[in-house]
Structure 1
């Protein structure tokens, strides 16, 4: 006979939800992560409360997946009607409800306990145990595994530039999604790039070689030299192409530089640095290409630029959410 699992007590649930709010805020620190681990380990009731909180969060993710399966045109029409009709409260509720995970307002569970993570607008440089260095862009999560005989980083999300300490074995590898980049020395960057919702490959990753050489494997293997790049996704590697390493790493100098980039990619990058969320409602505008140079500490200028260049209205909602279209 199966025994019913006890329900988490109310106080533990309250604390678990507070932890979830803190960890998904984009402002959590490594000290927060350590305190969170200690809290979970201190009492079985805490672990049960956290499991229930994660279950509810994942249920919202399943609901968001159902939203994704709806036809694009009806979803866009509803959003426009809410905006044009002045329904800011209704639109905000829709965004913070079923659409929260779909829009990237909540992290994946693995993000919560990453070894290193940056919040919105935060950039950080870390020294790894082997002497290599990694620069983390805003809203980036990175795991580090430097066990004997292994030099491995896992980019959970975001973007990083890795300066590899040479003369060591084995090669340092960075895993991201379905692929892995390996280098014995030198420097390279790897970042996530969004793709249209109907793309079968899903989220892409781009690897750019800055110095030395880097091997990228995602099904097939590509060898990169300085100034070369490759994109990969769930369907495999693309061709090796030329790349401007200075442009790809402009964020390290406090700049957002776009050269003939899709608008949805620009919005994706903008949301790394701006509190709240910019949401593009117009699919046609998403595919347009724009160029520009902006300072990371003046992100509202990017919003104004998009509004002007796309000739689309922008609507401010509570919580720093901006709807364009």
Structure 2
């Protein structure tokens, strides 16, 4: 494990690696010292470590609320996965003392989309697509996967059985032959049924809701709303999972910010001339140069192109 990364996304990835290792087995003296050095070397490290634990605890609380037992069987290994995060917080580690927890009975797989979209497969699922920055925990229970969406968004389809998706404050049982997009962002969660139907349960409600295609449910700590989306809004909602970004009268600066999330080659505005001009259209999320050329055609900007970035002035 390399701890020389300085970007926020790579720091988060290292933090999740440490939490996963702590769950896999107690750290030996050398590794415990390495973790302590990493935690104290940068305040961002301590924050990332706390975030990793907090995300896990939030997902664990929602699973417990729904009465979902935590399986004892280990999930099969995968080169794309990380070992399970442990349930009990080790926050004392960021204060200066590293706790060495007992091995957790909950073995699972953690998927972290750190570079663009991630495509994965699981039993009883069609293709699962994770958006940039998404962290997904997959548990095996009675021969079916269960999903804890810790942060970010995913597109998920079921085949023959119902599949549970837990978020902070919202739990969805996606029914057979159905598909949805789910999104978790801190204390807010939402899900959009693309086809078929799903059953939802919100933390602040006792009753279960039945959702059908085009139904969008959104939860906050204080409210639950359900809206039916039109076809145009549906197309816009799923664009990212198809490798596209659709903008409808969006400020150029905001469109660039969204596009830069997916690419190591960044678009840089060196002039504010077109920053707040509006742009609409559908663009490939992995083609920043194509987007920059559209800006040139529409607004007459100049491009300075290098391997590292695309300067727009």
- The TM-score range, normalised by the shorter chain, is 0.5 to 0.7
What secondary structure is seen at the aligned counterpart in 1 of 2:226?
coil
CA distance in 2, matches of 1:239, 1:161: 19
- The TM-score with structure 2 as length reference comes to 0.57
Match for residue 121 of structure 1 among 116, 129, 141? 116
Aligned to 1:109: 52
CA distance in 2, matches of 1:27, 1:213: 34
Contact 1:189 1:208 in 2 (8 A): yes
Aligned to 2:164: 173
What secondary structure is seen at the aligned counterpart in 2 of 1:146?
strand
CA distance in 1, matches of 2:252, 2:146: 33
Contact 1:26 1:118 in 2 (8 A): no
CA distance in 1, matches of 2:253, 2:146: 31
CA gap of 1:278–1:146, structure 2 versus 1, over 3 A, is: farther
Aligned to 2:99: none
Aligned to 1:8: none
Aligned to 1:238: 225
CA distance in 1, matches of 2:129, 2:10: 21
Contact 2:39 2:45 in 1 (8 A): no
Q: How many residues align?
A: 249
- The TM-score with structure 1 as length reference comes to 0.55
CA distance in 1, matches of 2:117, 2:299: 28
Contact 2:266 2:288 in 1 (8 A): no
Match for residue 45 of structure 1 among 2, 8, 30? 30
Q: How far 1:153 sits from its partner (Å)?
A: 0.5
C-alpha deviations, 1:279-307, integer Å up to 9, x for none? 99xxxx99997532111222255568789
What secondary structure is seen at the aligned counterpart in 2 of 1:138?
coil
Aligned to 1:190: 182
Contact 1:152 1:172 in 2 (8 A): yes
CA gap of 1:278–1:248, structure 2 versus 1, over 3 A, is: same
Contact 1:207 1:231 in 2 (8 A): yes
Contact 2:215 2:226 in 1 (8 A): no
C-alpha deviations, 1:202-242, integer Å up to 9, x for none? 66433111111123333245432112212223333223231
CA gap of 1:288–1:187, structure 2 versus 1, over 3 A, is: farther
Q: How far 1:250 sits from its partner (Å)?
A: 1.9
Aligned to 2:85: none
Match for residue 145 of structure 1 among 139, 145, 150? 139
Unmatched runs of 5 consecutive residues or more in structure 1: 1-14, 64-100, 194-201
